[in-house]
Chain A
Amino acid sequence: MPSVTEHLDLTTDVCPMTVVRTRLALEDMAAGALLEVRLLEGESLDNVAAYCLEDGHGIVAREALGGRTWRLVVRRGDDD
């Protein structure tokens, strides 16, 4: 299991910039690499998670960090 190599703090971003910034971060990564995203529960978390799955990436962890903040670990898919 590879370790997380990229981190993205989206706790101050709102939809749809959360998805845009996630997409841009994943684009620069190699297939199989892991991206950790911190974001707020609700629309941000739901939409980023849905986008990742739709675009062929994998979600390997999804956990609450306290408050409204969540941590999502995304495995970059083969190609976008």
Chain B
Amino acid sequence: MTERPAAFTPEQMERYSRHLLLREVGPRGQRRLLASRVMVVGAGGLGCPVLAYLAAAGVGTLDVVDSDVVEPSNLQRQILHGTPDIGRPKTDSAREALAALNPDVRVVPHAVRLDETNAADLMASVDVVVDGSDNFATRYLVSDTARRLRKPLVAAALFRFEGQVTVFPNDGLPDSACYRCLFPTPPPPGFLPSCQEAGILGAVPGLLGSIQAAETLKVLLGIGESLAGRLLLVDVLAMEFRTVRLHRNPACRHEE
């Protein structure tokens, strides 16, 4: 005998009505979102819109990993944090903003820096990992750990007016690419953006983070065609979007 699913409260019927109307989501999909758990690495330019849309969508549990405090320079794009939050841990201000947005969502803050000692534990019980980090060391660690644990990874990166986003399914299939297939080694120091090149148009992470949120919801719901096997390149200055195929690099030293 199958158990009858929990009924939506009148408040939830209203809150999720625009999902409930979609054939691809509907009551079953909304219940699935409410039962899902997603880890977002970084509560910054990408993480803020990702977290806001996932919380609004009713993803039941959100793990937020960030060890930074809010700085004035964050406020131009990191929309979960406000001026009164300057100096506070980003996990605190993010948790408060998300709780105000949707009390259905449980936010699990991790005010730590992701490293080899904690990454697998933090990722173990989530359904999807979203990378909104800002450095290569963390991106490799997130990708390697997610691949080892077979967790789908929604990854994005930004530079000035540009961004790129993809999904690494980490499904164990032989042709699935990973972050190391795309970037086998970190760029040499001279190739990293210097201080005066660290500018970013504030709406760019909003756009890319929204795409990450949409891809995460699609993966959780099992609907549509994800960006798995494709890299979406966005140039906001020209406002051009294009996708390139992503292949597994036979020489890639995946950490299985």
A residues bordering B, Cβ < 8 Å? 16-17, 19-21, 23-24, 27-28, 55, 80
Closest CB pairs A-B (n = 6)? A20-B17, A20-B20, A27-B27, A16-B21, A24-B27, A20-B13
Which residues 1-42 in B have Cβ within 8 Å of A in the complex? 4, 7-8, 13-14, 17-18, 20-21, 23, 26-28
- Cross-chain contact B13 with A28 (CB below 8 angstroms): no
The residue that B17 contacts in the complex, of A17, A55, A80, with Cβ under 8 A, is: A17
Rounded to whole angstroms, the CA-CA distance of A80 and B24 in the bound complex is: 10
- Minimum CB distance partner of B14 in chain A: A17
Rounded to whole angstroms, the CA-CA distance of A27 and B4 in the bound complex is: 11
- Cross-chain contact A28 with B21 (CB below 8 angstroms): no
**Chain A residues near B8 (CB, 8 Å)?**
24
**Chain A residues near B18 (CB, 8 Å)?**
16
- Cross-chain contact A23 with B20 (CB below 8 angstroms): yes
- Minimum CB distance partner of B27 in chain A: A27
- Cross-chain contact B23 with A21 (CB below 8 angstroms): no
Of the A-B pairs whose beta carbons lie under 8 Å apart in the complex, a sample of 18, sorted by A's number, is: A16-B17, A16-B18, A17-B14, A17-B17, A19-B21, A20-B13, A20-B17, A20-B20, A20-B21, A23-B21, A23-B27, A24-B7, A24-B13, A24-B27, A27-B26, A27-B27, A55-B23, A80-B26
- Minimum CB distance partner of B23 in chain A: A55
A46 to B: closest C-beta gap in Å: 15
- Cross-chain contact B4 with A24 (CB below 8 angstroms): no
**Chain B residues near A27 (CB, 8 Å)?**
26-28
**Chain A residues near B4 (CB, 8 Å)?**
28
- Minimum CB distance partner of A16 in chain B: B21
Rounded to whole angstroms, the CA-CA distance of A24 and B14 in the bound complex is: 12
Rounded to whole angstroms, the CA-CA distance of A21 and B12 in the bound complex is: 11
- Minimum CB distance partner of A51 in chain B: B21
**Chain A residues near B21 (CB, 8 Å)?**
16, 19-20, 23
B149 to A: closest C-beta gap in Å: 34
**Chain A residues near B23 (CB, 8 Å)?**
55
Rounded to whole angstroms, the CA-CA distance of A27 and B6 in the bound complex is: 12
Given contacts A24-B7, A27-B26, A28-B4, 18 further A-B contacts (CB under 8 A): A16-B21, A17-B13, A17-B14, A19-B21, A20-B13, A20-B21, A21-B13, A23-B20, A23-B26, A23-B27, A24-B8, A24-B13, A24-B20, A24-B27, A27-B27, A27-B28, A28-B7, A55-B23
- Minimum CB distance partner of A19 in chain B: B21
**Chain A residues near B17 (CB, 8 Å)?**
16-17, 20
Rounded to whole angstroms, the CA-CA distance of A72 and B182 in the bound complex is: 57
Rounded to whole angstroms, the CA-CA distance of A21 and B8 in the bound complex is: 10
- Minimum CB distance partner of B21 in chain A: A16
Rounded to whole angstroms, the CA-CA distance of A20 and B14 in the bound complex is: 9
- Minimum CB distance partner of B18 in chain A: A16
